[in-house]
Chain A
Amino acid sequence: MIKLLFRRVGLMIPTFIGATLLSFLFIRMLPGDPVLLMAGERGMTDERYQRLLHEFGFDRPYWQQYLEYLWGVLQGDLGESFRTKVPVLQEFLTLFPATVELSLCAMLLATVIGIPAGVIAAIRRGRALDHGTMGTALVGYSMPIFWWALMLIIVVSGQWGLTPVSGRISLLYFFEPVTGFMLIDSLLSGQEGAFGSAVQHLILPTIVLGTIPLAVVARQTRSAMLEVLGEDYVRTARAKGLSPFRVVGIHALRNALIPVTTTIGLQIGVLFGGAILTETIFAWPGIGKWMIESVSARDYSVVQGGLLLIAVIVMVVNLMVDLMYGLINPKIRY
């Protein structure tokens, strides 16, 4: 196990270096001179232009810029945002909890509904319930979530007036963030109704972001269950006269969950992509919205740092999924 860990981490190092190189190159390839863009219609004197160019280090050769950048990254310094002059890492850390909170809720939704739905469909294979569940799942899987979000806003917020349109909590409540997770912070604040407001704001974004993972989990659970239900030990358990509930719930499900867990882990990248759309539509102050705004504002250092941080998170999560897979699956020995 430890050996596996080392080997996997070792494999991550070249990937990590590659990711730094790629995010560095991406940004250097973006068209447009950021210094000129900063000046806009007003323009600037040549002397000032040269000075800014120098301050940002753009006048040095690429390899030197890259080495300086890499050296900074290794020390946890991702530079400062061009726009706000705040360290990129600091901005990331203030916005990251919002994305994590939303992603976790979406994942929770996907698991809590997706697994039972998949199990039921597998048990009722070929019946109307199976077709209905899987048909719905396929619709969910095919969903353009940005449109889905707009539809939910029109109906749930607009027509029924049940949920707010955007934001994380009603403006009536004010407390300093402690953990950055609004659900926890609102409870900690002790303000009446704050938690309810936070929940209410979470509902639609969670549904939107959770839709595709939910469909994937349901489909994956069903096919894993089908495979397991055909295995000998399940037949044996049935033959032994164990109750169907024990057979399905204990024997089959436990084994079927192994590939499902992997699927859930691998949805992280999908979630980040979905977060870009979801956060933009619901004005959710998270990483996705931050990234797309920085791309369009050409905030070099933020795009560069943000890309790298997201890549690292995806890599780490994938590593954890792999390790967990090894842990829960006794058949795999390294």
Chain B
Amino acid sequence: MKKFAIAVAASALALGVAASANAKTLVYCSEGSPEGFDPALYTAGTTFDASSRQIFNKLVEFERGTTKVVPALATSWDVSDDGLEYTFHLRKGVKFHTTSFFTPTRDFNAEDVVFSFERQRVKDHPYHSYVSGASWEYFDGMSMPDLIKSVEKVDDYTVKFVLNRPEAPMIANLAMDFASIESKEYADKLAADGKMDQLNQQPVGTGPFKFQAYQKDAVIRYQAHESYWAGKAAIDTLIFAITPDASVRYQKLKAGECHVMPYPNPADIDAMKTDGDVNLLSQEGLNVGYLAYNTKVAPFDNVKVRKALNMAINKEAILDAVFQGAGKVATNPIPPTIWSYKADLKDDPYDPEAAKKMLEAEGVKDLSMKIWAMPVQRPYNPNAKRMAELMQADFAKVGVNVEIVQFEWGEYLKRSKELDRDGAVLLGWTGDNGDPDNFLAVLLGCDAVGGSNRAQWCYQPFEDVIQKAKIVSDTAERTKLYEQAQVIFKEQAPWATIAHSVVFKPVRKEVVDFKIDPFGGHIFYGVDLK
């Protein structure tokens, strides 16, 4: 048996070498199966990695490795002076994929753009509920149905979006995965054949890689799109080897069975740093973990009390115990990878003595409070229970007695929104479009009180600034406004900002020019193999 196995291994190896001589194959050990291949239906990064980030293009896209928006299927765009009309000029000569299941007869044009958005927006569109329980998670979640008045084709290569109100982050929104452009011709063909649900299983796009095959829980295969508008990818074949277990992923990476892997075990990071075959890339994630006080309930309506409690938290200890090195202390409510991040903002110092005195000065004695700990793991908080326990110990030192409460996740999300909620909530946020508005307005705006604003914090000076920044379309001016907003936030301390996660990406040495995507994605166009 042993001999046999070795022989097999040897022949497999020989074949591998032979295969790589004429075609470059990059294997990515992905962490799970995609939910489907129509990105607009889903919100999970795993699904986007398998669909929008390889197969599709958007009108505008994020420059690889940054949160900067650059032209893609639209070569340029104009915004009307009132900020209500966005006119996109489309790229010409863009080819859709030719696959075993579809051969396109025409190039990409305005019809495809209109189709891709109208199916999400218009309730009686034939593709609006083409799979059962279809819900346009991001499109609805970003309140696009209220925002977009119409999407019109002006001519074959011009599309006009009309909005109901000005929205400066609109362009960034259109770079998100839900805005991927599908082929209307393909959708029409499927509708004619009565196989509409295939749109979610056998995708056709304009992106750098075309879908070849998917075996659930096992493997996804892609081929380079020969006539990709930005030039053919350096890799010929892209394979996603679905490997849910992190230690197995690392083992495969070491063995050369895959080239790139996501989400390493924190325990393996040290070994990876010294591994001669592996480059360990790292970057702060686009997220923030925080403790939100309920600013509507005494004594947490008092800024000084919130400040004092913030000073009582030993964040370094939390980073060690909860993030095990894969985190960075958060000072601002937005992560450092987002533009307008105010780097010179000062964090509340860790000073239990001073904190205790401040509390006494405010007449707060024998305070008992609750801290809510999430029951799930998130990048911004890998172990909320442990974090809450550490805070409990920290607060005890300043004479505050803490009770830790836990709910089942759905319940947690629901109850933590209640205005009269008892206690401070551990939660966090992962950014969608790299726009500061996506953090500051969503999490701290007055409209979000009773919703995603878990601090129930509505502070007019802050609100004025972020509302103004929503309307202005000049980035430099918006940057100033958001910097100002961060200063106000820090003075008022509706949250204790805790940490941004640090993302590690082990890639093999032979991989050239892989870049960490601040949005947590894995993009293989532009990557090469030595």
A residues whose Cβ falls under 8 Å from a Cβ of B: 31-34, 36-45, 48, 52, 55-56, 79-80, 82-86, 91, 94-95, 157-158, 160-168, 170-172, 174, 176-177, 192-193, 196-197, 199-200, 203, 281, 283, 285, 289-290
- Which B residues, 27 to 41, have Cβ-Cβ distances below 8 Å to chain A? 27, 33, 35-36, 41
> Is A85 a contact partner of B36 (Cβ separation < 8 A)?
yes
B429, A41: Cβ atoms under 8 Å? yes
The A interface, classified by DSSP as helix, strand, loop or mixed, is loop
Q: Which chain A residues lie closer than 8 Å to B6 at the CB level? A: 162
Is A44 in contact with B413, judged by CB distance below 8 angstroms? Answer: no
Residue of A nearest to B243 (CB): A283
Interface: B242 (CB within 8 A): yes
B241 x A85 contact (CB < 8 A): no
Closest B residue to A177 by beta carbon equals B215
Instruction: Tell me if B131 and A85 are in contact (CB < 8 A).
Output: yes
**A42–B452 Cα gap in the complex (Å)?**
7
User: Would you call A200 and B8 a contact (CB within 8 A)?
Assistant: yes
- Do B248 and A283 touch (CB < 8 A)? yes
Please state if B5 and A163 are interface contacts (CB–CB under 8 Å). Answer: yes
- A174 closest partner in B (C-beta): B221
- Residues on B with beta carbons closer than 8 Å to the beta carbon of A86: 36, 201
A168 vs B243: C-alpha distance in the bound complex, in angstroms?
12
* Pairwise interchain contact A197-B8, C-beta atoms closer than 8 A: yes
Q: When the two chains form their complex, are residues A84 and B410 in contact, meaning their CB atoms are under 8 A apart? A: no
- Would you call A43 and B452 a contact (CB within 8 A)? yes
User: In whole angstroms, what is the CA distance A38 to B197 when docked?
Assistant: 21
Known: A157-B251, A171-B27, A200-B9. 9 other contacts (CB 8 A): A31-B408, A33-B410, A36-B410, A40-B413, A43-B452, A85-B132, A162-B9, A171-B219, A196-B11
Report if A41-B216 is in contact (Cβ < 8 Å); known contacts: A36-B410, A86-B201. no
A203: B residues at CB distance < 8 A: 1, 5
With contact pairs A170-B12, A290-B217 given, residues A85 and B41 touching in the complex (Cβ less than 8 Å): yes
The verdict on B169 contacting chain A, using a C-beta distance below 8 Å, is no
Asked if B16 CB lies within 8 Å of chain A CBs, one says: yes
In the complex, which range does the number of interface residues on chain B fall in? Answer: 35 or more
B217 touches A192 (CB 8 A): no
- Cβ contact of B218, chosen from A43, A164, A167, A200, cutoff 8 A: A167
| Complex Cα–Cα for A44 and B131 (A) | 20
Q: How far is the CA of A69 from the CA of B21 in the complex (A)?
A: 54
Q: Is the CB of A289 within 8 A of B217?
A: yes
CB distance from A73 to the nearest CB of B (A): 16
Question: Can you list 28 residue pairs at the A/B interface with Cβ under 8 Å?
Answer: A32-B410, A36-B413, A37-B410, A38-B135, A38-B137, A41-B429, A42-B137, A42-B141, A42-B452, A43-B452, A52-B133, A79-B132, A83-B35, A86-B36, A94-B216, A95-B216, A158-B251, A161-B9, A166-B243, A166-B245, A166-B248, A167-B219, A168-B218, A192-B15, A196-B12, A197-B12, A203-B5, A285-B242
Q: Which of B8, B43, B244: most chain A Cβ within 10 A? A: B8
Chain A minimum-CB-distance residue to B138: A42
By a CB distance below 8 angstroms, the chain A residues around B255 are 165
Q: Judging by beta carbons under 8 Å apart, are B43 and A40 in contact? A: yes
Q: Chain B 39-55 against A: per-residue CB contact (8 Å), 1 yes, 0 no?
A: 00101000000000000
Across the interface, do B35 and A193 meet the contact criterion of CB distance under 8 Å?
A: no
In the complex, are the beta carbons of B27 and A41 less than 8 A apart? no
Whether A44 lies near B8 (C-beta < 8 A) is no
B43 with A42: CB separation less than 8 A: yes
Chain B residues closer than 8 Å to A285, beta-carbon distance:
215-218, 242
Asked if B411 CB lies within 8 Å of chain A CBs, one says: yes
Q: Do B221 and A55 touch across chains, with their CB atoms under 8 A apart? A: no
Question: Once the chains are docked, how many angstroms separate the CA of A104 from the CA of B213?
Answer: 27
User: Which residues on B sit within 8 Å (CB–CB) of A161?
Assistant: 9
- A52 touching B135, Cβ below 8 Å: yes
Contact B41 A41, beta carbon cutoff 8 Å: no
Nearest to B8 among chain A residues (CB) is: A196
Q: CA A37 – CA B218 in complex, angstroms?
A: 26
